[in-house]
């Protein structure tokens, strides 16, 4: 390839990356700008891509939880739903990972159990509305509605098939010879999983945990159906309530969106390398 052709190719690549960045980051940038722009400036024409006056009072309003005025009722709802989201997403991710590790190892080392995994993935692919009625009736009978624990149970049914499949594909790449040597030395199955398989599949663990957490954090449908107040309502439902007209300050709604995006963003940045390595590790065996 000539130098001119390489230059043209590089220009096209960088142009495509630039367009992708703009399309991806522009809405996030505007969300943040709305959150720090004074209410009168949000309706001016033309729009201000850089606010004339930076106003961070909405963040203070959301993160301060004191007496019972209007501002602090908003703060109380935001902090309560933030806590619920952390418990629901974190708890479901933890339970799913603890359950998926032995399940993925069993399916990986005993291929005859693959139909079980296929059946789990089949349930994962069905529309969520399919399970709403039986789950609602079951939770109502057990008195488990409007409870964060019910969301953990529901989210586990979503996360477990995916995490098991992802971990299984990575466990397949772990050399069997290392396990056989450990068994000769007297190691049991649990010791092999803990001391050999998991350290070698560490990127897959990070990728599975990250994707599971993000899926549970963003889930809206089940949280809307099974919760009714701040005892169990999660952030996606609270944001929908705010945006539906209960709060007329759209800058405050934007601030809620920015704060809601911070935990998964931080999580994704910390586990970015694990995500890339974990998704690609099981694709090549050799």
19 with 151, same domain?
Answer: no
* CATH number of the domain within which 223 lies: 1.10.3720.10
| The domain boundary residue, chosen from 55, 77, 92 | 55
What backbone phi and psi angles, to 5 degrees, belong to 2? -70, 165
- The region that residue 227 occupies, defined by phi over 0 for left and psi between -120 and 50 for alpha, beta otherwise, is beta
The pTM (predicted TM-score) of the whole model is: 0.83
DSSP-derived letter for residue 185 is: T
pLDDT tens column, 33-56: 989 988 777 777 777 788 888 888
Burial bucket for residue 14 (CB in 10 Å: 0-12, 13-18, 19+): exposed
Burial bucket for residue 249 (CB in 10 Å: 0-12, 13-18, 19+): middle
193 with 274, same domain?
Answer: yes
Q: Is residue 286 part of a domain?
A: no
| The domain boundary residue, chosen from 55, 80, 97 | 55
Q: Is residue 223 part of a domain?
A: yes
Tokens coding 40: 């009168």
1 with 136, same domain?
Answer: no
131 with 238, same domain?
Answer: yes
187 with 228, same domain?
Answer: yes
Q: Which residue has the higher pLDDT, 44 or 76?
A: 76
| The domain boundary residue, chosen from 36, 55, 74 | 55
The pLDDT of residue 7: 85
What backbone phi and psi angles, to 5 degrees, belong to 37? -105, 135
244 with 103, same domain?
Answer: yes
Q: At what angle do helices 272-281 and 250-270 cross, to 10 degrees?
A: 60
27 with 74, same domain?
Answer: no
Number of domains in the chain: 2
| Helices (runs of H) and strands (runs of E) counted in the chain | 15, 0
Distance between CA atoms of residues 129 and 148, nearest Å: 19
pLDDT at 72 over 80: no
269 with 202, same domain?
Answer: yes
6 with 108, same domain?
Answer: no
**What's the domain range around 202?**
59-281
Tokens coding 257: 């969106």
pLDDT tens column, 140-195: 999 899 999 999 999 998 899 989 988 988 888 888 888 888 888 888 888 888 88
Q: Is residue 222 part of a domain?
A: yes
The pLDDT of residue 193: 86
What backbone phi and psi angles, to 5 degrees, belong to 67? -80, -175
DSSP string, 187-208: --HHHHIIIIIHHHTHHHHHHH
């Amino acid at each position: 390839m000539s130098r001119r052709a390489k230059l043209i190719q590089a220009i096209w690549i960088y142009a495509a990356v630039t367009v992708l960045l703009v399309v991806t980051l522009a809405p996030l940038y505007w969300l943040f700008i709305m959150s720090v722009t004074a209410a009168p400036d949000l309706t001016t024409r033309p729009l201000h891509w850089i606010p004339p006056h930076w106003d961070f009072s909405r963040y203070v309003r959301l993160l301060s939880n004191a007496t019972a005025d209007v501002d602090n009722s908003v703060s109380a709802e935001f902090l309560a739903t933030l806590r619920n989201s952390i418990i629901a997403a974190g708890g479901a991710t933890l339970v799913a990972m603890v359950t998926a590790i032995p399940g993925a190892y069993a399916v990986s080392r005993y291929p005859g159990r693959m139909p079980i995994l296929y059946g789990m993935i089949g349930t994962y692919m069905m529309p969520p509305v399919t399970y709403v009625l039986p789950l609602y009736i079951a939770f109502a009978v057990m008195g488990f509605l409007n409870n964060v624990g019910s969301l953990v149970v529901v989210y586990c049914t979503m996360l477990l098939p995916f995490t098991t499949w992802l971990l299984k594909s990575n466990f397949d790449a772990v050399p069997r010879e290392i396990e056989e040597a450990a068994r000769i030395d007297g190691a049991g199955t649990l010791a092999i999983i803990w001391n050999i398989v998991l350290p070698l599949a560490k990127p897959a663990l990070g990728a599975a945990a990250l994707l599971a957490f993000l899926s549970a954090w963003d889930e809206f449908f089940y949280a809307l159906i099974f919760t009714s107040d701040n005892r169990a309502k999660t952030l996606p439902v609270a944001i929908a309530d705010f945006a539906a007209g209960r709060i007329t300050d759209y800058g405050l709604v934007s601030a809620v969106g920015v704060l809601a995006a911070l935990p998964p963003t931080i999580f994704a940045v910390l586990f970015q390398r694990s995500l890339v390595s974990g998704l690609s590790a099981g694709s090549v065996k050799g």
